[in-house]
Every structure is written in structure tokens, then in C-alpha cells.
Structure 1
């Protein structure tokens, strides 16, 4: 099922042009909050993927126990080891708030873990991001946090959730979705239960839905898009982190677009989360396809990073100078 043409064209409008006219910071500043003692790869993959797609700056906000490893993976990332177990949320708030003011989007969850102090800091970060009207991506153990307290994200329509099969099942149970409901409608039902949050349900095809209706029969405010772009045949751990990073980059671009850094302001701000989700899904699946062709069964997530640029060009048909070329059929 191809992505509707009008959706594809809107996604292209929120992509910053490579014409040399943008200033530093106008192509997206992405933050990733996660990374504790046992989890250093996930926040790295999310942050570096956003940069490989084209975001200008990637920040990782993590525990000091993870910072050294993450810094060693890439000098391109800006690492903030401020999530100290001995620090209270009250003490952390001013520093975290000041940091988030410099970003366009916050990805919460990759490498977060379920330790009480990391979960507490994640809740604080989501609260501050909502106060600042930031775009949000919630994945991995941030979804476990949401399952424990739906109200942390309910009704915040600048957020995107990216659950896999098990995470989607837990969230559906948390909001009381009937397990006998039509599978193709469950993402929409979850979005509605969460007050219009965009849901990117990962699977053999990605189902992306946003639902801002408030009554049982209000279907005119439901939008569901299935992305069945070909991907690789090996599903390696970490691919979801790449998806979080690419969705985050598109959201950051959307924030720059709505602020007038580029573009024609023809795309309504409320459409940016679903457009970013579709764009991130298409690029990530294509990245997986290219990497699998190279590595086959031996594929690991690291192999995918170098394919993100080529995947973007295949999907969106843009050369290195930013001139549009024919869209390659997927």
C-alpha cells in the first residue's frame, strides 16, 4: 500500500533544503534521553541516526556511568552526563530545563532502563518538554513508563509513541482496548485512548495513526497510514533506536519549518507528528533493506548507519545539492 501522494508531498515540504542559506541550528537539534550502566548503544544509535539523516546536532542526556562509552562511539555527539543517581529531580530540573530549551525535539527511552532514578528523570524530562511545547518521541522503557501512568502523555498531540509488538500489547491492555478488535484499527484505538497522541505501531508493516476525535462515532478526525516499504529480512536489536532517531530528526525539521526557518508554511503544525512518523518509517525500512543486501544474516545495527543517507535519497529523491530528482518507486 503506497503512502498517499499528498502525504508524501507534505513530508518533503518539511525537509530543509540543502541550498546553503540556512544558519547553524536551523536543520534540527535532537536530544536523546537515555543511557545507564548497561545500556549505551541504544541512545548512541538514536542520536547518531538523527545526524546521519541530516539533523545538525545530536545531544545525549545520560547517566555518568554511560557517558564515557557513548563519547567514545562518536565525537559528533554532545554528551551530557547529568542523570546522576544521587541527584533529586528538584535539583536536576533547572539544568535539564535549560538544556531542553536549546533543542527542537526530545527522544526519550533508548537505553533508559527501569531503575527508579532513570524513570523519575524521564518523567521530569517529559513534563518539562510538555511545558516547553517540544516535540517528543517515546520508545522502549519510556513506553513502560507510559503504561504505568497514561496521564504522563495523554492528550499531548506533539508526541509520537513507537511501540513494538509487546510494547503495543502492554499499552493496549493499560487503556483497556478489546483484544478482539480489528488489528488494523488498534493503533487508531490506542491513539484515541491517549487523547490524540500519534502511534507508530511497528510490525511487518508499520501502522501509523493519529486520532483526535472525542466521541465514539467521530471518524472524520482519524488518520491511519500503513507503511509497507520493503525492509531487510533480519530484525536486529537496535533497529528501533534508528527509527526513534529518524522520526526525531523529521520532528526537529518540522519544528524548524513551523518556526519559519524555511518553507512556505503550507503544512499545518498539527500534521507534523504523523508526517515525521511516516518519513522516519520509510527511511528506516529502506535503510534496513540496503544493509541486509550487504550483510545478510550477519547484519547488526551498526551496519545500518552508513546506509541512512542512501535510503533517504531513494525515498525522497534529493541529491547532495538539494535539487529534486525523480522519486524512486519503492
Structure 2
């Protein structure tokens, strides 16, 4: 059965205007005032022998949303495949089984605004060890962090790795949220379970994926919770979570650029940036999924979402995707 195409300008979930305006402040201006790198430098740590698509989708979705540079830090067994998928990605095959890449990671992280850990990481002990090392190095540099997929498995083994680090976001799906909640002693039947997980993690922002995405941040002074019910596609296929981790990472990278004074007036406190980034990324990713589904229907694959990310961003935030000067050419 052919899938009917919806009106492109569809109704968005009524995110409070104040929140929506704050998210827009994270977005770099598209006016030629910034040089290369000031719209975000994103790193993805993952990619083992059996998993090359996941880090590609995370890193490429970051570029498609508008990051300037996207790095993949992976095993040599995954590097050739990832390089072949796109020449736009910078690939670092430094995660070898018998190596200790802490020095290389420290040097590389100096070039990044955010680190995404987990897409294609796998559960081999040496890859899990590298993820733990990367977490420690990134925290020492006060980096923004996104933890997804098998990085969440790592946290279920040792939540203290991220506990209290408020510049981080975790992005669990249904199964991952259940495992993480159980490891933290949180009842998943609690209607406020997302905020309870954030509290148990000491203020880490939780993006709980589902029919509606729930974004929750618990701090000593306040709780922030937002449901995002922007309509997504009607088919879930492997890899869409990697798209989300890449878009979350890009919003966080933009937040770091704002924090560093690359653009804007610096009115958004860094403590609020993970919460705002998760909401913005959820809206864009769900919209991209919807657009891809209504083009491809049941046959949709994650690859179909990539060209829709920029259009979804323009649809959500009202930016002319063609650029203001195109009409003058």
C-alpha cells in the first residue's frame, strides 16, 4: 500500500516558547562570520569489527545537522569500512587491543567540542576499557558527553563512571533504560522514572527514547522534564538511535562553541545546555524519521534519514535551508 505524503509544514509539539527560544540560541549563525570549526567539532568513539554502520550514522548525522568536522575514533578492524562510507569523516584507527591510547586521546580531545561514546562500541573487554578511559579523559577536560548503545552497558556495570557529571547525556532505548534503571535501583513503573534515573546519576541528563521521548535533568535546585511527541516515522529500523546520538552531539558542540564565545551573547548557562540539546535533537531526529518514512514507507532504512536531517532542521526551527543568498546567484 502506498504511503500518503503529509503536509511538510506539520504541527509541532507545543514546546514552551521560552525553551524553544533558548534552544535556538545554541544554533550558530549562518552569516559567514564563523571560521571552520566554530560550528562544532564532534567526536564519535566506537566502531569494532562487527559494527561499522553505527559510528558512521552518528558522525554523518552530526555533519548533516551542521557540525563543521566529525571524527570517528575506532578499531583498525572498522576503519577501512568507515572511511569507505564517506570521505567527509576523519577516521582515527587507534583502538587496538593491546594498546594504551590515553595519550593519543588526550591530544585528540583537545580538538573536539563534544564526545559521543557508544555507537558500534561493542562489548569486547578491550573496547569497553577504551570507553572507560575515554570517559575519564573527557571528564578531566570538562567536555560535553553523549553516551549511547554499549556505553550504557558499561554504565550498568559501573554507574560511578559518570555519576555527578552534569555535562553528560545518556540516550537509552526501552531495553537499555530498563537495564540502567535496575542497576540504579529505580522502578521503571514509576511515572517519573526518567527523573529518578537522572537523580541517581547525580544530574546527568536522560533522553529516554520511546513513543514519546522524555528528557529529564535533576539538579539540587530544580527538576526539568520535557516530553517530545513530534511525530516520527512508523517503522523503527536499526541505526535511528545513532542518528539521534549524532544530532544530540551536534547541539552540545554548538553549546560549547557558545560557551567559548564563538557566537551569541552567552546567555544560556552551560548547566542548561544538555537539557536543551536533547530536546532540540529529539525534535529534529523525529521529524527526519517522519520525512524519510513518508518517502520510502515500509522499505525505509536509516540511510534514508541522512538527507532529511537538514530539511527537518529547517522545518523545526524555521531556517531557510537554501541559505539567504542563493536567490542572488
Distance in 2 (alpha carbons) for counterparts of 1:269 and 1:114 = 32
In the TM superposition, 1:100-249 aligns within 5 A as 100-182=109-191, 185-213=192-220, 221-249=222-250
2:8 alignment counterpart: none
- SS for the counterpart of 1:231 is coil
Indicate conservation of the 8 Å contact 2:213/2:228, yes or no: yes
CA contact (8 A) 1:2 1:228 kept: no
CA gap 1:201/1:179 in 2 versus in 1, 3 angstroms: closer
Match of residue 74 from structure 2: 62
State the distance in 2 between where 1:109 and 1:72 align: 21
Find 2:53's aligned residue among 32, 36, 41.
41
Cα distance in 2 for partners of 1:80, 1:170 equals: 31
**2: CA distance, partners of 1:322 / 1:195:** 41
Q: Confirm or deny: 8 A CA contact 1:19 1:322 kept in the other structure.
A: no
Q: Is the 8 A contact 1:18 1:320 kept in 2?
A: no
Deviation at 1:321, TM superposition (A): 6.8
Equivalent-residue separation in structure 2 for 1:57 and 1:270 (angstroms): 24
Residue 7 of structure 1 deviates from its aligned partner by 0.7
Q: Deviations over 1:67-98 (max 9, x none)?
A: 000000000000000000121x3xx1111110
Aligned-pair CA distance for 1:107: 0.2
Which runs of no fewer than 5 residues in structure 1 stay unpaired? 214-219, 324-330
Alignment correspondent of 2:7? none
1:205-228 deviation digits (Å, cap 9, x = unpaired):
000000013xxxxxx610000000
Paired residues of 2:311 and 2:321 also in contact (CA < 8 A): no
Change (3 A) 1:258 1:321: farther
- Where 1:306 maps in the other structure, the secondary structure is helix
Q: State the alpha-carbon separation in 2 of the partners of residues 105 and 53 from structure 1.
A: 15
Instruction: Say if 1:136 and 1:248, in contact at 8 Å, map to a contact too.
Output: yes
| Structure 2 spans left out of the alignment, 5+ residues | 1-12, 325-329
Q: Deviations over 1:128-183 (max 9, x none)?
A: 0000000000000000000000000000000000000000000100010124422x
Residue 267 of structure 1 corresponds to 268
In the alignment, what sits opposite 2:303?
302
Does residue 26 (structure 1) correspond to residue 38 (structure 2)? The answer is: yes
Alpha-carbon distance between aligned partners in 2 of 1:116 and 1:93, rounded to the nearest angstrom: 16
Aligned to 1:84: 96
Offset from partner CA, 1:195-245 (integer Å, 9 cap, x none): 0000000000000000013xxxxxx61000000001000011100000000
SS in 1 for 2:59: helix
* Partner Cα separation in structure 1 for residue 292 and residue 311 of structure 2: 10
